[in-house]
Amino acid sequence: MALASQSPRSTRQFQPSQRFGTQFILLGAAAVASLGAGWWLMRADAGSTEIASASPAALASSVPAASGSNQPMRAPTSLDAEQSSESAPSNNIASNNIASNNGSSKNGSALDNIVADAGREAARTSSEVSAAGASSPVAATNAQASAPSAPTSNPPRTTSSSAPSSAPASTPPATNPSATPEAPANDAQQAPKKSDGIKQNGITQGERPAATPAANAGSPAGNLAQGLPLAASEPVKARAMLSSALLSGELSPLDAKRCSDALVEIGRVLAFTPVYNANDPMFFQYTVQSGDSLEKIVRRHKIGCDWRLVQRINNIKKPEAIRVGQRLKLPKGPFSAVVSKRDYRVDICVGAGSERVVLTSLPCGLGSANGTPTGNFKVRVGSKLLNPEWTHPVTGEHFAGDDPKNPIGEHWLGLEGTDTTNAQLAGYGIHGTIDIDSIGQDRSLGCVRLLAEDVAIVWECLGDGAMVEIRQ
């Protein structure tokens, strides 16, 4: 009989050794740890994707404040340091788990970089949103509607595809220097529409002011503004308007110069040419009769000028050669003159009262030390002289009429005052000069002096008793 110890079948129950039990425990723990690490990585990847796609406002609100209060998000430069110090335990556990399963901490540092980059982007976006303030699409639309002619050259940058439909009530409006401030919400304070006809500072909003305001119609400045453009097309009307403006004495020196220059050009067309304008009330036509002379014609019609003016106007070379049936252009008169001391100018006028117009304007010289008197004068009867003799009242030096050194030239018109303030004055007159440079200067002994060719026109226009006004 075989021994029990020699039986091929052992009756002892199998029991695992302590070494194999420890291995099973370690393997199970490792499997659980691997599953937990994989689940954690999946959550981390999902979190980074949400961070990258989140809107700036949601991302900024998801970042915790330093002390749990409503403080703004910290600067992105300190984000890595804060995560390593405040979240050290959790980060270390995550790093250890990843290292135990993958053998390195490489994936953990990459995740930290993703989170840090997302935080930096969120901080940068939050800074842009704060700088832009309430520059939402609605606010930009309102600014463009209030200033359609001046659109914003640099529109605010849009960082989210889902922009809010309206800016928060607490957000202040953005400052946009290129846009007109938005009109107040109160209807009573809104700017008037173009059709309202409401005037501000004398100008209707939305309408261009008239070149000559209605309030200035008929004023010297208004007549100047209206008369200048009419000089070429309607010279008669322009002459009337410009004459009224110039003779008012209210124009500035610059405007007076523009006005007188225009009147000189108009005078060359209407006055000092044989062409007769039927619309000009200051001239008329006359047909030469048998036995007529220029002097007889002027005297018969009581024109008041010298016959030489008719010769000048009609461009007659030989006065004695006029023929019967010839048509002459004659001025109606009366003639007068206005001397402006301020502008050193003599205006020769024709007509009377409100119908008086300026035929031409001539530069002049005046008395030294303000020696030319002012007021109303008239040409003294019998004082009109051609090629006169003259004796200097201070030195006593005498000059013959034919002397080329005669200071008063070849024309003289004596003046006598008609005002109580100048009636006693004597010796003043209008004459020519050989001192050309004295025109526009105060060099005479008190008389009004003109160039030789200009004083000839004055002498021909102003007859005995013609009125002369000398203004300051």
Is residue 179, in this structure, part of any structural domain at all? no
Q: Are 181 and 144 in contact (CB under 8 A)?
A: no
Residues 346 and 339 sit within 8 Å (Cβ to Cβ): yes
Would you state the pLDDT for residue 18? 53
> pLDDT digit string (tens) for 288-340?
999 999 999 999 999 999 999 999 999 999 999 999 999 999 999 999 999 99
**Residue at token pair 């110890």:** 5
Residue 438: CATH number of its domain: 2.40.440.10
Q: Which domain holds residue 362?
A: 342-471
What does R_g of the chain's alpha carbons equal in angstroms? 53
Please state whether the predicted TM-score (pTM) of the whole model is above 0.75.
Answer: no
For residues 246 and 220, what is the distance between their CA atoms, to the nearest angstrom?
7
- Give the pLDDT confidence of 199-250 residue by residue, as tens digits: 433 334 444 444 444 447 789 999 999 999 999 999 999 999 999 999 999 9
- Of 199, 110, 125, 204, nearest to 163 by C-alpha is 125
What's the pLDDT tens digit per position in 160-171? 333 334 444 444
For 340-354, write each residue's pLDDT tens digit.
999 999 999 999 998
**Cβ atoms of residues 349 and 338 within 8 Å:** yes
In a domain, 260, yes or no: no
Res. 130: pLDDT tops 70:
no
The predicted model gives 91-110 an average pLDDT of 42
Closest CA to 288 of 317, 315, 319, 327: 327
Residue 28 pLDDT: 77
In a domain, 181, yes or no: no
> What pLDDT is attached to residue 31?
77
In sequence order, what DSSP letters do the residues of 235-283 get, joined into one string? HHHHHHHHHHHHHTT-S-HHHHHHHHHHHHHHHHHHTSSS---TT-TTE
Assigned token pair, 245: 């403006």
Pairing of strands 411-417, 448-450: unpaired
Collect all residues with Cβ–Cβ distance below 8 Å to 374 and sequence separation of at least 6.
341, 422, 470, 471, 472
pLDDT of 267-295, one tens digit each?
999 999 999 999 999 999 999 999 999 99
Please give the full DSSP string across 393-417, using - where no structure is assigned. TTT--EE-TT-TT-TTTTEEEEEEE
pLDDT over 50 at 90, yes or no: no
pLDDT digits (tens, 9 = 90+) for 42-70: 665 555 444 444 444 444 444 444 444 44
Q: How many domains does the chain have?
A: 1
Expressed in angstroms, the distance from the first to the final Cα of the chain is 170
Answer yes or no: is 114 within a domain. no
Residue 216 has what pLDDT?
Answer: 74
**From the centroid of its chain, how far is CA 4?**
128
139 inside domain: no
323 or 179, greater pLDDT: 323
Bridge partners (DSSP) listed for residue 59: none
Q: pLDDT tens digit string along 379-395? A: 999 999 999 999 998 89
Residue 378 forms beta bridges with which residues? 416, 467
- Spatial separation of the C-alpha atoms in residues 458 and 472, rounded to whole Å: 20
Least Cα distance to 460 among 373, 367, 389, 359 occurs for: 359
pLDDT given for residue 30 in this prediction? 76
The token pair at 140 is 């930009």
Q: What is the pLDDT of residue 124?
A: 60
The pLDDT score that the predictor gives to residue 387 is 94
Q: What are phi and psi of 449, to 5 degrees?
A: -115, 145
Q: Strand, coil or helix: what is 348?
A: strand
In this structure, what are the phi and psi dihedrals at residue 94, rounded to the nearest 5 degrees?
-60, -40
Rounded to whole angstroms, the Cα distance separating 187 from 189 reads: 5
- pLDDT grade, residue 128 (50/70/90)? low
Cβ atoms of 385 and 464 closer than 8 Å: no
pLDDT one-digit tens code per residue, 407-432: 999 999 999 999 999 999 989 999 99
Contact, 277 vs 373, CB < 8 A? no
Nearest-CA neighbor of 454 among 439, 470, 469?
A: 439
pLDDT of 32 reads 75
Asked if the structure places residue 355 within a domain, the reply is: yes
Q: Summarize pLDDT for 461-472 with one digit per residue, the tens.
A: 999 999 999 999
Question: How far, in Å, CA of 458 to CA of 460, rounded?
Answer: 5
DSSP 8-state class, residue 417? E
Residue 457 has pLDDT above 50, yes or no: yes
Query: Quick check: 84 pLDDT over 70?
Result: no
Q: Which residue has the higher pLDDT, 459 or 114?
A: 459
On whether residue 204 sits in a domain, the answer given is no
pLDDT at position 119 is 54
Domain annotation covers residue 161: no
Taking phi first (over 0 means left), then psi (-120 to 50 degrees means alpha), and beta for anything else, what does residue 353 get?
left
